[in-house]
Structure 1
Amino acid sequence: MKKDAQYDINIAKLADKTHHFAFELDRAFFEQFEQQLIPDGQVHADVTLHKTDRLLTFDFHLKGTVRQVCDRSLDDYDQEIETREQLLVRYGDRDLELDDNVLQIKTDTQTLPLAQHLFDYIGLALPMKKLHPRFQNEPDENPDSDTKLIFTTRQEGDDEDDEDDTDPRWNALRNLN
């Protein structure tokens, strides 16, 4: 990742109170990361920082669209996203990532880079199944089913109770009920 200081916050110069920051994330932002998940987008990020002498609490609100490729048709489309995340940063004797949303930084840290966190929160806001809007309203074939069978090796006409090809050692275990 190329370093871009415009997404860094100089925490050393900030007073112990609430601060607000706004970032516009566009193609230049996404090109900083060597990845193919999000090639382009227009996302507005509102970041609220509540600073105390022991803890920094960042509240992120991200809203906008990002360019995606449909899993079904491979067409490009704009995926709308909106997410709220929180990042807690505490002071300690060394830099550590304690949890996904909890960091520890040294007390003499001057700036805190937010670019990677912004990118990660956008990536987490994306749906697992990326479908072009023209496919999103199609009904499922069986709406009562919780899961959908994609592939099976069983062919029609096969007897499900056919245990001839099963290892005979399993028969003793089946009788333990």
Structure 2
Amino acid sequence: MKKDSQFDLNIAKLALKTHHFAFELDRAFFEQFEQSLIQDGHLHAEVELTKTDLLLTLDFHIHGALRLICDRSLDEFDQPIDVRHTMRVRFGDQNLELDDDVLQITPDTQILPIAQHLFDYIGLAIPMKKLHPRFQNEPDENPDAETKLIFTTRQPGDGADEDEGTDPRWDALRNLN
């Protein structure tokens, strides 16, 4: 990822209260990351940062549309996105990522970069199956395919029918008692 100070929050100069930040995310934002999932989009990110003596709480609200490629038709389409996420940053003796939503930074940290967090929250909001809106309301071709499991060891055309009974070789083995 390239360095972009537009998405860095100068937390050292912030007073102990709630602060609001707004960011516009477009093609230039997504080009900063070495990835091929998201190429374009027009999103608005609002970050509400509450600073206390021991903790920073960042509430993210990201909404807008991403330009994605349909998995079925390879057509481009706009996918609406509306994400709300909370991240907590506590102060400690070293910089650590304690959990997906909890970071630890040293008290003398001046800048908190949030570009990677914005990108990650957007990436998590993308559906696993990216379908153009014209395909989203279509029923599956075989709705019972997920719930019905059929298992057989017979291959088509091997001549074994259910009406024939048992294999005579097994009958001989059963008589070995």
Residue equivalent to 1:136: 136
Following superposition, the deviation at residue 142 of structure 1 comes to 4.4
Runs of 4+ in 1 over 3 A off after TM superposition: 141-149, 152-159
Residue equivalent to 2:170: none
**How far apart, CA to CA, are the structure 1 residues paired with 2:42 and 2:154?**
47
User: Which residue identity is paired with 2:64?
Assistant: G
Deviations, residues 128-170 of structure 1 (Å, cap 9, x unaligned): 0000111111012344665588xx99755787x9xx9xxxxxx
**How far apart, CA to CA, are the structure 1 residues paired with 2:24 and 2:91?**
28
Residue equivalent to 1:91: 91
Residue equivalent to 1:78: 78
Residue equivalent to 1:111: 111
Q: Size of the alignment, in residue pairs?
A: 159
Structure 2 vs 1, CA of residues 73 and 14 (structure 1 numbering), >3 Å: closer, same or farther?
A: same
User: Which residue identity is paired with 2:33?
Assistant: F
Indicate the SS of the match to 2:124: helix
Indicate the SS of the match to 2:90: strand
**How far apart, CA to CA, are the structure 2 residues paired with 1:24 and 1:115?**
11
Following superposition, the deviation at residue 78 of structure 1 comes to 1.2
Residue equivalent to 2:9: 9
**Gaps (5+ residues) in structure 2?**
168-177
Q: Name the TM-score, length of structure 2 as normaliser.
A: 0.82
Indicate the SS of the match to 1:99: coil
Of structures 1 and 2, the larger Rg is shown by: 2
**How far apart, CA to CA, are the structure 1 residues paired with 2:96 and 2:136?**
41
Residue equivalent to 1:100: 100
Residue equivalent to 2:37: 37
Structure 2 vs 1, CA of residues 115 and 23 (structure 1 numbering), >3 Å: closer, same or farther?
A: same
Indicate the SS of the match to 1:93: coil
Q: Name the TM-score, length of structure 1 as normaliser.
A: 0.82
**Gaps (5+ residues) in structure 1?**
165-177
